[in-house]
Amino acid sequence: HAQLGTLRYMSPEILEGSVNLSSSWCLMQADIYALGLLLWEIWMRCSDLFEGDIAPQHLLPYESELGADVTLDSLIRYVFHMDKRPSIPKHWELLPQGSVLQELLTDCWDGDPDARLTARCVVDRLVSLQSFFSP
């Protein structure tokens, strides 16, 4: 296994060792996966997305599911074999922008690299979110 980047943010195909390291497209799709995790991490700290305007304690991706000290083997099992991702708060479904947030995250961290969004599509969706926050 080649470790490309930080363990928690490695895409399923990199964790499993099946990524074509000579393909820039494969590496870009792995970056989109990591971007999805970063967006999740940022939004989990956004008090406007939580009732009472209190964001939960900061957690790294997979920390609540796998603990603070994740291993390559635990991530391979959880992310690749079980096709699991960090939990998205259930109450986001009730927010006006909730379905857009959920869809963006799940489309970024899809287990199939070919099904993940392109960087341009991520930008377009992020721009569309501005309408929920503009005065």
Query: Tens of pLDDT along 13-34?
Result: 998 888 777 778 888 999 999 9
How far apart are alpha carbons 7 and 1 in whole angstroms? 11
pTM of the full predicted structure?
A: 0.90
Q: Which two three-digit tokens encode residue 6?
A: 């930080």
**Residue where the block lists tokens 């928690």:** 8
Domain ranges in the chain are 7-132
Would you state the structure tokens that stand for residue 95, as one six-digit string?
Answer: 């927010």
CATH topology of domain 7-132: Transferase(Phosphotransferase); domain 1 (1.10.510)
Task: Record the tokens describing residue 68, joined without a space.
Answer: 């603070």
Q: Where does the pLDDT of residue 2 fall: very low under 50, low under 70, confident under 90, or very high at 90 and above?
A: low
Distance, C-alpha 61 to centroid of its chain: 8
